[in-house]
């Protein structure tokens, strides 16, 4: 005869094993989901472009972002963090990455969106490198699962250029 304690213990161990199996199946099945997110990013206006008194360049721009990230969502997805970064090279750094905008997408219904906004975070270069500068706009995302590993990816949009003159 097993004591009540022993049986309870066996049941708990068994349930925990099942939970562990389900969790690993959940994150494993995520590996079979090949997401195909899309994004269009347009700079619809340069609001102003200045050299600050301390010599750093700052630009304010208006962005038109439309994206469909619905395919990132599976039943195991808790939420998705997205941020849009301006990326460019300077003589000092091979990669300068400046976050311009970000958002947390709580569900698949919100993952197809369109937003027309000026940059939420300041676009400042530590120097005066921005005139006529070519840059990329990269939409980065981090998928936070309910269980398993977080994963990240991005869409790079190339061929943007800042104005030649301050304005």
Selected binder of ligand NAG within 135, 137, 141, 145 (CB under 6 A): 135
30/25 Cα distance (integer angstroms): 8
∠ Cα 72 75 80 (to 5°): 40
Query: CA 37, 41, 43 angle in degrees (round to 5)?
Result: 170
Which is nearer to ligand NAG, 109 or 134 (by Cβ)?
134
CA-closest candidate to residue 160, choices 145, 144, 138 = 138
Q: Which stretch binds ligand NAG (CB under 6 A): 4-12, 20-28, 97-105, 128-136?
A: 128-136
**Minimum Å distance from CB 106 to ligand NAG?**
23
Q: Does 97 bind ligand NAG (CB under 6 A)?
A: no
- Our CB check for ligand NAG shows the closer of 67 and 105 to be 67
Q: Is the dihedral of CA 30, 80, 61, 124 positive or negative?
A: negative
**Per-residue binding letters, 50-89, with ligand NAG (x by CB under 6 A):** --------------x-x--------------------xxx
> Which residue in the block uniquely carries the two structure tokens 């941020």?
83
Q: Is 38 in the site for ligand NAG (CB under 6 A)?
A: no
Contact 90, 127 (CB under 8 A): yes
- For binding to ligand NAG (CB under 6 A), which residues are involved? 40, 42, 44, 64, 66, 87-89, 116, 134-136, 156, 158
């Amino acid at each position: 005869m097993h004591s009540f304690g022993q049986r309870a213990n066996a049941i708990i161990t068994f349930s925990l094993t099942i939970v562990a199996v389900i969790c690993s199946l959940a994150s494993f099945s995520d590996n079979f989901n090949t997401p195909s997110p899309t994004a269009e990013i347009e700079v619809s206006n340069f609001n102003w472009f200045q050299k600050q008194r301390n010599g750093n360049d700052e630009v304010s721009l208006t962005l038109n972002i439309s994206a469909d990230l619905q395919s990132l969502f599976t039943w195991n997805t808790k939420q998705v963090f997205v941020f849009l970064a301006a990326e460019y090279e300077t003589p000092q750094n091979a990669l300068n990455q400046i976050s311009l905008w970000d958002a947390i997408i709580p569900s698949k219904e919100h993952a197809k969106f369109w937003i027309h906004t000026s940059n939420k975070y300041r676009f400042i270069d530590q120097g005066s490198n921005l005139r006529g500068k070519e840059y990329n706009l990269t939409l980065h995302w981090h998928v936070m699962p309910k269980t398993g590993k977080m994963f990240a990816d991005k869409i790079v949009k190339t061929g943007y250029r800042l104005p030649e003159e301050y304005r």
